[in-house]
Amino acid sequence: MMANVHRLIPAHPLTLVPPPAARLYPSLDGPTRVLLAEDDDAMRELIAEALRAKGYHVFEATNGPELRDWLHRSQNEPGFEPPPDLIVSDVKMPGATGLEVLSWLRQRDWSTPVILITAFGDAESHHEAERLGATMFNKPLSIDSLVFAALVLAEPR
């Protein structure tokens, strides 16, 4: 599928990075579960609404520690929501950056696809995101491109 992405949008600068390995507990039935972490309320609401309009089940976190706690609970707490099929996270958030949480996930062998969004995207942060198997968007971002990337990256493998 990844090769088809570039044929569909050949001039698009987005590079979709496939996750490093099979995801934990992929959602094979029901809506795709997306965990969205964004500290800006308006941006979080905009992205969540766009994803929900496409049929995604969206869970929201407002900062880095809340994102990490949600992920930890999904893995270790019976009765809590199962792990997400996709994580969309801002990079700069209070308490922990999206890159720090991504690194934390990869150290625990989580291979869930991750899309990072940032208003402060320099070459180093883009390289680090790619090294850790994430796709990164700079703000301002195209919500349509973000939703398209979610569709491609959350597709069962």
150 confidence band (pLDDT: 50, 70, 90): very high
Taking CA atoms, 87 is separated from 72, 131, 135, 150, in Å, by: 13, 16, 11, 9
Taking CA atoms, 71 is separated from 10, 125, 141, 152, in Å, by: 35, 22, 25, 22
Does residue 132 have a pLDDT over 90? yes
pLDDT of residue 29: 61
Residue with structure tokens 């809340």? 66
Query: Which of these ranges, 20-29, 36-45, 102-111, 144-153, has the smallest mean pLDDT?
Result: 20-29
pTM across the whole model: 0.80
